[in-house]
C-alpha cells in the first residue's frame, strides 16, 4: 500500500487513497463545467461511482454511436478496457474510482488541456 497523495489536474484533483498490487483507489474531484479527456485504456478496468454532484458520462465502443448518461450519487459504472469515454461535471463532483493498478494506461483521443497524443 502506498501513502495517500493528492495530484493536481487541470480539471480539479485526484486523491489516491490506495495503490496495491491488484488495485488502485482514487477520489476524483472535478470542478463544475470541467471535463476529462476523451480516452480509453488498453488494460485498465475501472469502476466509478459518483459520491456527490451530477456527472455527464459519454461512452462508445469502436464503431458505435456515442451515448451520454447522467450519473447521480451512488450510481456505479464499469469502464472496461477499450471503452472510449469522457466525464463532464455538471456540478462540482466527487467520484470514487477503483481500478486495476495500471495508472499509465491512458490513451487520450481529445483533451481540452492539450494532453492528447
Number of separate domains in the chain? 1
Q: Which of 16, 58, 11 is nearest to 31 (CA)?
A: 11
pLDDT tens string 24-74: 999 999 999 999 999 999 999 999 999 999 999 999 977 888 999 999 999
Decide: pTM greater than 0.95.
no
pLDDT band at 2, cuts 50/70/90?
low
64 Cβ neighbours under 8 A, 6+ residues apart: none
Q: Which of 42, 99, 51, 97 is nearest to 71 (CA)?
A: 51
Report how far residue 28's alpha carbon sits from residue 26's, in angstroms, rounded to the nearest whole number.
Answer: 6
Looking at the DSSP bridge assignments, the partners of residue 108 are 39
Instruction: Specify whether the CB–CB gap between 107 and 100 falls below 8 A.
Output: no
- Strand 46-52 with 93-99, pairing: antiparallel
- CATH number reported for the structural domain that contains residue 35 in this entry: 2.60.120.10
Q: Which of 53, 35, 36, 51 is nearest to 96 (CA)?
A: 51
Report how far residue 117's alpha carbon sits from residue 92's, in angstroms, rounded to the nearest whole number.
Answer: 27
Instruction: Specify whether the CB–CB gap between 24 and 7 falls below 8 A.
Output: no
Structural domain containing residue 102: 5-110
Q: Would residue 19 count as lying in a domain?
A: yes
Q: Would residue 48 count as lying in a domain?
A: yes
Amino acid at each position: 500500500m502506498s501513502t495517500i497523495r493528492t495530484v493536481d489536474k487541470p480539471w480539479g484533483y485526484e486523491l489516491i487513497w490506495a495503490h496495491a498490487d491488484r488495485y488502485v483507489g482514487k477520489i476524483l474531484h472535478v470542478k463544475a463545467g470541467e471535463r476529462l479527456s476523451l480516452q480509453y485504456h488498453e488494460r485498465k478496468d475501472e469502476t466509478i461511482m459518483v459520491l456527490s454532484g451530477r456527472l455527464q458520462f459519454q461512452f462508445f465502443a469502436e464503431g458505435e454511436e456515442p451515448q451520454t448518461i447522467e450519473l447521480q450519487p451512488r450510481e456505479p459504472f464499469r469502464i472496461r478496457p477499450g471503452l472510449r469515454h469522457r466525464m463532464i461535471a455538471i456540478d462540482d463532483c466527487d467520484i470514487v474510482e477503483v481500478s486495476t493498478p495500471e495508472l499509465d494506461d491512458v490513451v487520450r483521443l481529445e483533451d481540452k488541456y492539450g494532453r492528447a497524443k
